[in-house]
């Protein structure tokens, strides 16, 4: 199933003009907690209904509150009153969620066209961009494999409606919001594929198809080439599966994207490394059967890198960016690697295997080393790495580790601007004893239940060398177990915006 069947990116446009005359199926009106904070250009017939609903306490303006109206005073006919909350609490994050809630609500009513009024505190370039991004996210189909009883219509078009001012810059903001939303949908689509469809080789083929004809170059290393590069950790994890591994390398260079760029880009080279275990049984250290089906999401880190490059191919970045995605299956078989084995990394370090379910750090270690060989000057890896991080931070925040501190802070700032909640965790030398081995340079998993996310990060640090490096553990945030008005169950596309923001802001941190 091609990626595009998981989402149909709606045609987005900016509309400047009277709210009542917008040609759409559903007109979404934001309703703030304070009645006076919603200065919308509305016909009296609509405004009077809203006043009456306020007076009866039926309409309160609480976040994501929804009321549907039919009123012939507007061209749309259907009106969705969507609660925002206090006007003082409006942020781009909230605007993004409101855009998604509006799009999902429209689809749930079987409608294909939506227009969202960016009035009151929702005016301004960052908020308009976030609304556009959010409504694009709403176009994702979590039920793409269903042949019947699909609950949501396809969202074909969306408009952000403003009354006046800055039409050109706001149109650019809508266009960028569409790019960002589609990038996250690319990541969600890849992550949502079933593991019998998305093997490592198929993931590599998808990458080639995704970037064909764009400024992103794709190279794929097969198992023979991986042996030639002595990637013993990656190959060790993969050896138990009949589906061979792949190492996907993406390169974005502004010199290839613009005729006005220098012949060869200079400055920093950002290396993005994403874990792509297309299915993780845990190997010989096999996982419990309960929830093992969700282990198709163990490649959300690699999916995030693909999504980020999808945006870079369309929106650009000032510096060169390299993506390295190690793709494997971790399966138990007579050929699988075992607890007690010693693997030799491409860097030369030896690793005693104490738990085959701690496989993600092994493939990332070889991939981080390879990103360094390709010329990366700054590194970020992203992975659904440890259940320990999910236990520590729950489903809200992703774990953030890194050295030096100022680089970690740069990555956290990119997350804040992009709308991903990253929470720094400690990684001092006091934890190093967790990885000691009597017979090799290190173990792959500490022999204790405590500090699991930290020991995993320390393992990765050993392969980042002296480069500025950050690690995002998205085990708790990569998919949603419970639906919300702005997020259906399934893949979230977490950290895609962080990686895009980091690449596009490289001129400020280099």
Residue 54: CB atoms within 10 A of its CB come to: 15
Tokens of 36: 């006076």
- Tally the C-alpha atoms within 13 A of residue 275's C-alpha that lie toward its C-beta: 33
- Identify the burial level of 128 via C-beta atoms within 10 angstroms of its C-beta, where 0-12 means exposed, 13-18 middle and 19 or more buried: buried
Angle at 158 between CA 153 and CA 159, to 5 degrees: 155
% helix, strand, coil for the chain, step of 5: 40, 20, 40
Query: Is 188 a catalytic site residue?
Result: no
d(CA 129, CA 110) in angstroms, rounded, equals: 25
Tokens of 479: 């998919």
Contact 69, 46 (CB under 8 A): yes
Catalytic residue among 109, 229, 287, 432: 287
For every residue of 236-255, DSSP letters joined together read: HHHTTSSS--EEEEEEE-HH
d(CA 119, CA 96) in angstroms, rounded, equals: 15
d(CA 153, CA 110) in angstroms, rounded, equals: 5
Catalytic residue among 97, 206, 314, 361: 361
- Closest C-alpha among 440, 438, 459 to residue 364: 459
Kindly give, in sequence order, each residue whose CB lies less than 8 Å from that of residue 89, ignoring residues fewer than 6 positions away.
none
DSSP category for residue 9: P
d(CA 74, CA 69) in angstroms, rounded, equals: 11
d(CA 278, CA 270) in angstroms, rounded, equals: 25
For every residue of 49-62, DSSP letters joined together read: HHHHHHHTTS----
Q: How many residues does the chain have?
A: 510
- β-pairing, 11-16 vs 157-162, is parallel
Query: Is 287 a catalytic site residue?
Result: yes
Positions marked active-site: 287, 361
């Amino acid at each position: 199933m091609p990626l595009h069947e998981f989402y149909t990116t709606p045609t987005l446009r900016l509309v400047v003009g009277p709210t009542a005359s917008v040609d759409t199926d559903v007109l979404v009106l934001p309703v703030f907690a304070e009645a006076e904070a919603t200065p919308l250009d509305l016909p009296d017939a609509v405004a009077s209904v809203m006043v009456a609903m306020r007076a009866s306490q039926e309409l309160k303006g609480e976040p994501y509150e929804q009321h549907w109206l039919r009123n012939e005073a507007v061209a749309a006919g259907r009106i969705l009153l969507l609660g925002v909350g206090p006007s003082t609490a409006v942020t781009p994050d909230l605007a993004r969620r409101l855009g998604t809630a509006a799009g999902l609500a429209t689809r749930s009513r079987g409608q294909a066209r939506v227009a969202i009024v960016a009035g009151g505190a929702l005016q301004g370039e960052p908020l308009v961009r976030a609304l556009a991004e959010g409504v694009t996210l709403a176009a994702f189909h979590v039920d793409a494999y269903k042949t019947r009883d699909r609950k949501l219509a396809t969202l074909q078009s969306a408009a952000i409606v403003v009354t006046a001012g800055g039409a050109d810059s706001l149109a650019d903001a809508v266009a960028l919001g569409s790019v960002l939303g589609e990038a996250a949908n690319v990541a969600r689509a890849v992550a949502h594929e079933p593991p019998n469809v998305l093997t490592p080789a198929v993931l590599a083929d998808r990458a080639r198809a995704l970037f064909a004809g764009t400024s992103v170059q794709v190279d794929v290393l097969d198992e023979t080439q991986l042996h030639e590069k002595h990637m013993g950790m990656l190959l060790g994890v993969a050896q138990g599966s009949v589906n061979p591994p792949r190492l996907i390398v993406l390169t974005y260079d502004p010199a290839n994207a613009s005729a006005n760029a220098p012949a060869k880009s200079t400055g920093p080279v950002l290396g993005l490394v994403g874990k792509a275990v297309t299915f993780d049984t845990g190997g010989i250290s096999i996982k419990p059967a309960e929830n093992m089906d969700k282990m198709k999401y163990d490649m959300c880190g690699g999916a995030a890198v693909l999504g980020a490059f999808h945006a870079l191919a369309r929106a650009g970045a000032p510096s060169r960016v390299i993506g390295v995605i190690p793709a494997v299956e971790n399966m138990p078989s007579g050929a699988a690697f075992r607890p007690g084995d010693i693997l030799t990394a491409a860097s030369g370090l030896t690793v005693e295997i104490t738990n085959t379910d701690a496989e993600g750090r092994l493939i990332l270690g070889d991939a981080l080393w390879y990103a360094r060989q390709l010329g990366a000057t700054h590194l970020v890896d992203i992975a659904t790495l440890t259940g320990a991080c999910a236990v520590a931070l729950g489903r809200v925040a992703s774990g953030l580790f890194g050295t030096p501190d100022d680089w970690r802070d740069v990555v956290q700032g990119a997350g804040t601007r992009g709308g991903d909640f990253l929470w720094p965790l400690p990684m001092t030398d006091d934890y190093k004893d967790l990885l000691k081995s009597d017979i090799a340079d290190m173990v792959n998993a500490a022999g204790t239940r405590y500090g699991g996310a930290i020991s995993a990060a320390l393992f990765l640090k050993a392969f980042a060398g002296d480069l500025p490096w950050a690690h995002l553990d998205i085990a708790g945030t990569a998919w949603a177990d419970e639906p919300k008005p702005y997020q259906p169950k399934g893949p979230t596309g977490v950290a895609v915006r962080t990686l895009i923001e980091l690449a596009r802001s490289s001129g400020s941190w280099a």
